[in-house]
Amino acid sequence: MSIIMLDILHDIVAHKRLEIETLRSDKSSLQQALLASSTGIIAEFKRKSPSKGWIKEDGRADVIPQAYQQAGAAAVSILTDSCYFGGSDDFIRTARKSGVTIPILYKNFVIDELQLMQAVLCGASAVLLIAACLTKQECRELIRKAHDLGLEVLLEMHTEDEIDYADLGPDLCGINNRNLGSFVTNVENSFRLAECLPKEVVKVSESGISNPIVVKELRSAGYRGFLIGENFMRATSPGDSLRQFIAQL
């Protein structure tokens, strides 16, 4: 190989290292965004539910996440599961291209590190891990791998039996108010389990939140993040619905 070709190869590899470093470091922090926010709302782009069918089949990833950002969301959650939620990794790419700069949560049923790589490549800031889907060892390894890739982890729990997963070192701990068996939601689950979580962890209440008063009560109970999707997605204009919700806070 000629000296000229070696010089070109050296330049290409050097530039590629810069690209990789940018990919690792150019991530907005979900944890810090929630701590700095007066509302803590993670507005969700969710077109479909396995229990209720289509919520907004024509919902556009280049419109709604951007509208959430303009309305004052602290972060955006985007469903990427295609079979049950009508989602796609491309929705995160599209949201980023439309101008979304706030943290994006990659929401899926993550069970393999390959999915973490997908989350990085599509532009997510953080990834959801669900305790009910993973053994403690699997969860520990996925948290470690996510951190190696520059992703934060929102670890979701549902019951007292799963609370010890919080000791594995996630960046945020979520309590899902939806029973994964019946899909019935009850916000009391967040109030009931709040005291069981480590005091220093950033707490997120997920699902079934539709009243600003409940957000205020959850904040008093120690929560800093509130994941709300269906309440906004069923509105004609999800962004306006979020704006009105925040105004009441």
Residue 206 designated active-site: yes
Residue 230 designated active-site: no
The per-residue b/e assignment along 200-217, b for 16 or more CB within 10 angstroms, e otherwise, is ebbbbbbbbbeebebbee
Residue 107 designated active-site: yes
Residue 231 designated active-site: no
* Under 8 Å between Cβ of 233 and 202: no
60 CB-contact burial (10 Å; exposed 0-12 / middle 13-18 / buried 19+): middle
Residue 203 designated active-site: no
Q: Which of 27, 37, 44, 205 is catalytic?
A: 44
Residue 177 designated active-site: no
Q: Which of 49, 207, 231, 241 is catalytic?
A: 207
Of 160, 154, 157, the closest CA to residue 175 belongs to 157
Q: Which of 176, 177, 189, 231 is catalytic?
A: 176
Q: Which of 77, 162, 189, 206 is catalytic?
A: 206
Residue 207 designated active-site: yes
Q: Which of 27, 48, 56, 107 is catalytic?
A: 107
Q: Which residues are catalytically annotated?
A: 44, 46, 107, 156, 176, 206-207
